[in-house]
Chain A
Amino acid sequence: MKLTKLSALPTGILVAFVLLVVVWGFCSVSPSDFLTLFKDKEFISAVVFGLKTSFVAVLFSSIFGIPAGFLLARNSGVLSKISDVMFDLPIVIPPLVVGVLLLNVFNSSIVSDIYSFVFTFYGASIAQFFVAFPFTVKSSKSAFELIPPVYERIAMTLGAGYFKSFFDTTFRLAFDSIVSGLILSWLRSLGEFGATLIVSGGIAYKTENIPINIYLKITEGNFKEGLAASLFVIAVVFVFVLLTKFLFKNRRFTP
């Protein structure tokens, strides 16, 4: 028996497991539960807050993460390797711990004398940025590694300057993967719970994002609405993950 055929069994079990959990969830709520959810002003406020903070987090992830990914892809020095390991930390550290560490920094006199980030929009954005930017770095690094530097050199021989040659060749060719990485970073920010809760406090109508709203709904005993909100998140995530898989697949060229 071929190995691929043999692998089909565990693959099928995993798919069935995911489907069971999601479908069971959708079977457990009625359309009226969703209607109630969308009429809930606190939930809508949480959605808006989550979108805003995750947007800021992704914006800064792209500003810092894409150049960092480029450096890691092109430079194999010791400092690059150490940086690469450092960028793994936010991924593997539990978000709650990230929140505690950030809270510690924000509460230090050096930072708090300049601005009080705790329980604020910016505090929540920084927490989400910390957790999400490694996804941008890693995906950018992988994307840039696949593009040989010779394209940039050829563009330069044809008259393009340093930045233009990079933008017209390497960046354009890596663009699809970078966008996919940014979408993943954004989804990670949107679904961030532990660090955001610790830093921003999850204050209703002020610093409450979707996962905090779901948590509060369930702790208040409002399980059905919490479940409906969770399924809403799943639907959003599903659409965007699907987008990252198929967005650029119908192009005639192969980067």
Chain B
Amino acid sequence: MIDINLKKWFSNFNIDVSFSFKQLRNVLFGVSGSGKSSILKMIAGFFAPDSGYIKVGNKVFFDRDGKINLPIFKRGVGYIPQEYTLFPHMTVEENILYGVRVRGLNLDRVRFNFLVEKAGLRGHLDLYPNELSGGQRQRASLVRSIIVSPNILLLDEPFTALDSSIRVEMYELLTSIVDNLEIPTIYVSHNLEEVYEFAQEIAVIDNGVVLKCSDRDTVFSNPVNPKMARLLGYKNVLKVDRVVGNRVFIDEHIIKVEKPVPQADFLFIRAEDVLLLRRDTDISDKENVIEGKIVSMYSGVSSVCLKIKDGSLLVYARVSKHVAKKMELKVGCDVLVSLKKEAIRIGWMS
């Protein structure tokens, strides 16, 4: 459905990516400066790659070998960046209908009414953008992009500037519109929660290259290297000394994994998946139990992150505040942690 293969050399940064998406809701995920926004801009046609091709459906946006480079206005893309881009001198209705007007299309009233109602803009059509809230502006931008039935919708962290409560509404609206109208979408984000909420397929981008491109669950459960693991929120990245069968040696500790592996450089475990046990717990049926001491605690809004040390092994665990209080956890406490086999992921150096 979306087939991308492009190279672009900047003065101090290179992009060399190749990936394809077959689903509707797709995400380019990576840290700031990884090149994901530049990729999106090249798909939109804001600037051209140095080589490669960009294909969306049966339309070729760019093909260096075929000497094709469609101008922005012939690509049929909807583009919503982080900043507010409603035209300030037009009302909400004029903004929404701009694309219909310049393309000389007949307005599909049913689609217009559906989108305006869905986005909650019915009472705001006569207002100017500066008379709207941030959420209303981005909803209007979304409707403006979608009403002209784009070939692809490109979203460059459009909800980052909004309050978290509004962001949730926006994801729901976006997901519902994209699914209803079946518009292929690429969403750029560096926010793990956003990505998980929205994505069906994900391409993980780092330093201008694709680390992995697959469906959401595959990407989230199979980090290939420490960089990707950290990106995907794996707090525990443990360096492996050697492997024998399904036993992994880390310093003096032996961690058993689900299946025998020929080689492993790292073990990745989410802090949320580290099981914290009371000292008096019967550990006979527990897997990979480590006895350690809490060396530090960081408290978040709803959870507590613990740093637990056993010799040279450092393990991060995350528990709810309620559990932390009930277990009377504090710095210096001796605790038991269990690393469940099913939560352990194997990683390699590159």
Binding site for B on A (CB under 8 A): 148, 150-151, 153-162, 164-165, 168-169, 172-173, 252-255
Contact = CB atoms under 8 A, between A and B. Distances in A.
Given A253-B129, A255-B89, A157 B83 contact: no
B129 A158 contact: no
Contacts of A161: 73
A165 B73 contact: yes
Given A150-B81, A255-B88, A157 B145 contact: yes
Interface string B60-93: 0000000000011101111101010101111000
A254 B88 contact: yes
B182 interface: no
A164 B103 CA distance: 11
A169 B87 contact: yes
Given A153-B44, A156-B73, A173-B87, 6 more contacts: A157-B73, A158-B102, A159-B102, A162-B71, A252-B128, A253-B130
B348 interface: no
Contacts of A158: 73, 98-99, 102-103, 144-145, 148
Interface in B240-254: none
Name the interface size band of chain B: 20 to 34
Interface string B120-140: 000000001111000000000
Give the top 5 A-B pairs by smallest Cβ distance, nearest first: A158-B99, A156-B72, A159-B103, A253-B128, A160-B102
B290 to A, nearest CB: 52
Contacts of B130: 252-254
Contacts of A162: 71, 73
B78 A157 contact: yes
Which of B75, B77, B78, B87 has the most A CB atoms < 10 Å from its CB?
B87
B72 A157 contact: yes
B114 interface: no
B98 to A, nearest CB: 6
Contacts of A172: 89
14 contacts: A151-B85, A151-B87, A154-B85, A154-B87, A156-B45, A157-B145, A158-B73, A159-B148, A160-B102, A162-B73, A168-B98, A168-B102, A253-B88, A253-B129
Which of B45, B98, B128, B129 has the most A CB atoms < 10 Å from its CB?
B98
Given A155-B98, A157-B79, A160-B73, A253 B46 contact: no
A164 B88 CA distance: 17
Contact of A153 (B72, B89, B128, B144): B72
Nearest to A254: B130
Interface string B90-113: 100000001100110000000000
Contacts of B145: 157-158
Contacts of A154: 79, 85, 87
A160 B73 CA distance: 6
Nearest to A158: B99
A203 B102 CA distance: 53
A161 B78 CA distance: 15
Nearest to B150: A157
Given A169-B87, A254-B88, A254-B130, A157 B44 contact: yes
B85 A150 contact: yes
Contacts of B102: 155, 158-160, 164, 168
Contacts of B90: 253
Contacts of B88: 173, 253-255
B75 A157 contact: yes
Contact of A159 (B44, B83, B99, B128): B99
B80 to A, nearest CB: 9
A175 B99 CA distance: 22
Given A158-B144, A254-B130, A153 B79 contact: yes
